[in-house]
């Protein structure tokens, strides 16, 4: 389980940052930045991927009540313009900026899940596997994942063919089949190969002229 050892090594307030939604074919990439209180931190914080949806929702609500939280969202059209890497970096930056603006003070240090950092002025450290090591990053992973899941569940009401209630925009068989049958929506990332391929025109194949072949064959 993640702990606070990393947080204790840096100047406070320490911010944990994580993202959700780099891999899906549809929907935004969402990042969260979290400063946990000294006391009253919910039990059970962990890498969001290890938690059930119900547990994530419960912890999300408790974190929203006790912690300082910032969220950054980059929509599919901008993902296509920037590419998913830079869109993720922007979402992280927006999340930390939102947190700083809401709290009225700059972070002392930012712990970011992964091996890269955005181009920003904040003191920061990338932590590979950070959501399993830092409780602040774990909290951010829960906020980001639950926020994005709710966005995709709402989007599924408008675009019911793609199975977003369950797959959240990832390229599972149901989603890919719907892409082939119905084509992309405005929420699809057109720079991602399966979506780009779904937009390609499929020319009608002409049926061979059997009469001409028979004649040429000396019928």
Reported as a single tens digit per residue, the pLDDT across 65-80 is 999 999 999 999 999 9
**Tens digit of pLDDT for each residue in 119-156?**
999 999 999 999 999 999 999 999 999 999 999 999 99
Q: Which domains does the chain have, with CATH numbers?
A: 5-160 (3.30.420.10)
> How far apart (Å, rounded) are the C-alpha atoms in residues 111 and 118?
12
User: Phi and psi of 177, rounded to 5°?
Assistant: -65, -40
Buried b (16+ CB within 10 A) or exposed e, 13-51: bbbbbbbbbeebbbbbbbbbbbbbeeeebbeebbbbeeb
Stretches in the chain below the pLDDT threshold 50:
204-219
- Of 24, 8, 160, residue with least CA distance to 88: 24
For the packed helices 53-66 and 135-158, what is the interaxial angle rounded to 10 degrees? 120
pLDDT of residue 22: 97
The span from the CA of 123 to the CA of 138, in Å, is 19
Give residue 212's pLDDT.
Answer: 36
User: pTM to 2 decimals?
Assistant: 0.90
pLDDT of residue 201: 63
Q: Alpha-carbon distance 69 to 55, whole Å?
A: 18
Phi-psi region of 104 (alpha: psi -120 to 50; beta: other; left: phi over 0): left
The helix or strand, by DSSP H or E, that contains position 179, with its residue range, turns out to be: helix 173-182
> How far apart are alpha carbons 125 and 129 in whole angstroms?
12
């Amino acid at each position: 389980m993640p702990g606070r050892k990393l947080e204790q090594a840096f100047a406070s307030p320490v911010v944990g940052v994580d993202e959700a939604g780099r891999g899906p074919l549809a929907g935004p990439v969402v990042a969260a930045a979290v400063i946990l209180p000294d006391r009253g931190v919910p039990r059970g914080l962990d890498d969001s991927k290890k938690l059930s949806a119900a547990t994530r929702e419960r912890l999300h609500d408790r974190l929203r009540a006790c912690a300082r939280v910032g969220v950054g969202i980059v929509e599919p059209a901008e993902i296509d313009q920037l590419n998913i890497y830079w869109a993720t970096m922007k979402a992280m930056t927006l999340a930390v900026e939102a947190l700083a603006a809401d709290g009225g003070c700059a972070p002392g240090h930012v712990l970011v899940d992964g091996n890269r950092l955005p181009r920003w002025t904040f003191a920061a450290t990338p932590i590979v596997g950070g959501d399993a090591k830092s409780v602040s990053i774990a909290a951010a992973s829960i906020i980001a994942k639950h926020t994005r899941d709710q966005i995709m569940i709402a989007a599924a009401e408008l675009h019911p063919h793609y199975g977003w209630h369950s797959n959240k925009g990832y390229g599972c068989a149901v989603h890919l089949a719907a892409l082939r049958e119905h084509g992309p929506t405005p929420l699809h990332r057109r720079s991602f190969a399966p979506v780009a391929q779904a937009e390609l025109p499929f020319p009608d194949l002409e049926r061979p002229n059997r009469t001409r072949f028979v004649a040429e064959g000396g019928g």
